[in-house]
Amino acid sequence: MLSVRTPLLAWTTADITELLIQSYYSVVKREMIDMVPKAITLTLVNHAKENLQRELLENLYKPDVLEELLKESPDIVARRRECVKMVGALNSAEAIVAAV
């Protein structure tokens, strides 16, 4: 077999083809070595994601938890009432300005 150091004129078509095939297989081998851990990680992440999502949905849709999650805090209720009063006052002011 010829090496890279052999002068180009001494190379035959078979030698060039053999070198190209060896280079191709080394690239493919390197790609496969890189892809295997990635594929394993992807499988593990997808499995964990599916299990976590299922578990979260099961806990979320329990009736007692759902009521607690939908409960509005007293501060938010007070702020919403203030906003409704403010909208009413602004509508009244708009009506007064439009009448003038």
> Cα–Cα distance between 51 and 63 in angstroms, integer?
21
Other beta carbons within 10 Å of 15:
14
Buried b vs exposed e over 42-70: b needs ≥16 C-beta within 10 Å? eeeeeeeeeeeeeeeeeeeeeeeeeeeee
pLDDT tens string 31-42: 999 999 999 999
Q: How far is CA 40 from CA 30, 33, 36, 51, 98, in A?
A: 16, 12, 6, 17, 69
pTM for the full model?
0.46
Distance between CA atoms of residues 88 and 83, nearest Å: 9
Determine how many CB atoms are found less than 10 A away from the CB of residue 26: 10
Domain parsing of the chain, residue ranges: 71-100
pLDDT digits (tens, 9 = 90+) for 45-100: 999 999 999 998 888 888 777 778 788 889 999 999 999 999 999 999 999 999 88
